[in-house]
Structure 1
Amino acid sequence: MSIEPRDVEIAQEDQPLEAHEIRITNHGKINTWVDFALEFFEANEEKALVFHTLPVAKDKSKQAEETSGATATENADKRDETPKQDGRSKDAKKLHASTSLIPRLVSVVEIIKREYLKQMDSKKAMQMSGLHQYNEIGVLEDETPQDGNDEDRAEAIRRALEGTNNVRIEKTAFMRVTLCRKEIPALAQQGHTASETNAEQIGSGTAEETAEEGGRRHDGC
């Protein structure tokens, strides 16, 4: 499954806010994420839903391999971590999945916001509130050389420690979007860009049509 059953807590001054995390991947289905989100928000008024492009936690991957070996989904997650060419030229900079998946994340969030408003209108659920959105764009730093085998990387680190060569620091952009029916002031105070769903900002079209279009743009999903 592309939807990870992982619950986290968002720090607030008064009390932690529960959140459910979903990692956007190349192999995940947009319709699956959208359907899950709509059901989630209908059932949860206080709980937040977090979409992100962060890499799989190393301890999580290691634990899975030690217990039952890598599954097909985990193997796909590892393939997602492989830097990808953006297709503009042979010399184009390789993009890490955490960066290349940002447009896909944005597409998923926009579809969810639009379909949520349609759901509110169709069900005339006056008790349902709009969605509050909080965007975070960050940078991951990797000081370990990416090229060569383990011996090459170890040698490069040794030279760096001796001061004879500098280890190149790779910076990888990622994005995290938090959606919630309840306002989360703590995230806004932390500098996350905040907005609220507005019918005038949401375009027309069904989730299936947009997902199909997004799939054509993003690796055929």
Structure 2
Amino acid sequence: MADAKGKGKAREGPGPDPPGNTHLIRISNHGKISGWVTHALDFLDRHEDIPIVLHTLPATPKPDAPSENPDAAPAKPANPPSFAHTASTVPRLISVVEIIKREYVKKLDLEHSSVLTGLHQYNEIGTLEELGVVVPVADDEQDAETQRSQDIVATLQGKLHVKTKQTPFMKITLSRTKLTGLDIATYQAPLMRKISKSAKQRATRRERKAGEAMDVEEAAA
């Protein structure tokens, strides 16, 4: 999985697991678009049945090493997650996805593939609050417990219209095949390759021969 620099292993953000087996790629403000695109295309080329999920969810924090003092307060994460960029990185996410889709179709052309369609796309938009993630008013300014206490005090004082903060995020699933179980997502049909009539006929003949070969193998089994 790609990290913030488009290399290495991705860190999953909070929230429900995507359906089935998926490959997560977290989009940040600091990674290289070319790295994400190259990684995604390589993965899709090697895994026909595993979709990729590109998202703007915050990274999972890494906790400090456990304290030797058993009476010490629990250690806070060494790298607390930043919630400020889950919305601001959405345009970057969309740009990465569009490049991946275009480059995937170009790759099919270069390989003279019999596949005529590009990648299926599923878009999901939500908020961290809907996932049960407590987002501080500002990163590093106050912890979640302080924020909850302030909300309770405001309610007891009769301030019923307490301002609620919404922190949006986006996830986009790209798949070589059409998926099921993504009813909450909006669907975008794959790009179609523009090929000549003769190329279409050759592709059809290759698919027919492949199907006939499979029938022969099944009959012989």
- Which TM-score band (shorter chain)? 0.5 to 0.7
In 2, are the aligned partners of 1:136 and 1:193 still within 8 Å (CA)? no
Q: Which deviates more, 99-108 or 158-167?
A: 158-167
- 1:110 aligned onto 2:98: yes
Which amino acid counterpart does residue 65 of structure 2 have in structure 1? E
Deviation per CA, 1:31-67: give whole Å up to 9, x if none: 110111111111111000000011224xxx144x337
Q: 2:190 aligns with which of 177, 180, 196?
A: 196
- 1:178 aligned onto 2:173: yes
Aligned pair in 2 of structure 1 residues 6, 144: CA closer, same or farther (>3 Å)?
A: closer
Pairwise CA distance, 1:194: 3.0
Higher strand content, 1 or 2: 1
Which amino acid counterpart does residue 196 of structure 1 have in structure 2? P
Q: 2:47 aligns with which of 44, 47, 50?
A: 44
Higher relative contact order (CA 8 A, sep 6+): 1
Deviation per CA, 1:187-207: give whole Å up to 9, x if none: 1x334333212347xxxxxxx
Pairwise CA distance, 1:149: 4.1
Number of residue pairs matched? 171
In structure 2, stretches of 5+ residues that fail to align are: 67-74, 195-221
Instruction: Report the counterpart of residue 32 of structure 1 in structure 2.
Output: 35
For normalisation by structure 2, the TM-score amounts to 0.64
In 1, are the aligned partners of 2:105 and 2:117 still within 8 Å (CA)? no
Q: How far apart, CA to CA, are the structure 2 residues paired with 1:131 and 1:199?
A: 11
In 2, are the aligned partners of 1:143 and 1:169 still within 8 Å (CA)? no
Output aligned runs, 1:1-221, within 5 Å: 1-2=3-4, 3=6, 4-5=9-10, 10-11=18-19, 17-57=20-60, 61-63=61-63, 65-66=64-65, 78=81, 81=82, 96-126=84-114, 130-141=118-129, 146=137, 149=142, 153=147, 155-166=149-160, 167-187=162-182, 189-199=183-193
Q: How far apart, CA to CA, are the structure 2 residues paired with 1:113 and 1:144?
A: 33
Q: Identity over aligned residues, as a percent?
A: 36
Q: How far apart, CA to CA, are the structure 1 residues paired with 2:192 and 2:114?
A: 15
For normalisation by structure 1, the TM-score amounts to 0.64
RMSD of aligned Cα (Å): 3.4
